[in-house]
Amino acid sequence: MLEALGFDLAQAITHFVSFLITVWLLKKFAWGPLMNMLEERRAKIAGEFETIEKDKADAAQLTAEYQAKLKEIDNERRAKLVEAAEEGKQMAAEIKASAQDEVKGLREKARGDLERDVAKAKVQLRDDMVAMTMTAVEKVIHEKLDEAKHRELIGKFIDGLEKV
């Protein structure tokens, strides 16, 4: 019956042996290099994933460092703003104190000038009163006293008026 189907045992055995030899040759010469190539590819992909993970970790670390530096810069900026505000307040206080000292000095100078002017005016008034009194006395007495005696009498009279 196998013969009727055209089955030849010798041919089947030859095919089977050829198949086994082909499998053995493929295993010996093709399967090893193919498996090595696949293993190298798997190792390369695994290495790339490790590199990617390392790069992610490095990027996260850099991001954290940059965030810390940004916070530090922000804190420094705030500190400088506060320092500048304090310096401005101090300068304003110094300017105000300087202006007050200057005004005080001007007042004292003006008061001194006024006191000097009052003293000059008193001396001038006294001299004018002496001159007017001398003129009035000359008219009353109709005679002229000597200048020194005349001034002495009038000075005593005015000093008496100032005490009153």
pLDDT tens digits along 73-102: 999 999 999 999 999 999 999 999 998 898
| pLDDT computed for residue 41 by the predictor | 94
Angle at which helix 32-141 crosses helix 147-163, to 10 degrees, equals 120
| pLDDT computed for residue 144 by the predictor | 59
52: Cβ–Cβ under 8 A, 6 or more apart, which residues? none
Cα 8 to Cα 3, 11, 22, 145: the distances in Å are 7, 5, 21, 187
Cα 124 to Cα 112, 127, 128, 131, 134: the distances in Å are 18, 5, 6, 10, 15
| pLDDT computed for residue 119 by the predictor | 84
List the chain domain ranges.
Answer: 9-163
145: Cβ–Cβ under 8 A, 6 or more apart, which residues? 137, 153
Cα 152 to Cα 128, 132, 148, 155: the distances in Å are 15, 14, 6, 5
Torsion, Cα 113 119 123 129, to 10 degrees, reads 110
DSSP 8-state assignment for residue 143:
S
Quick: pLDDT tens for 135-144.
Answer: 767 666 655 5
114 φ/ψ angles, rounded to the nearest 5 degrees: -65, -45
Weakly modelled stretches of the chain, pLDDT under 50: 1-2
The secondary structure element, H or E, covering residue 62 is helix 32-141
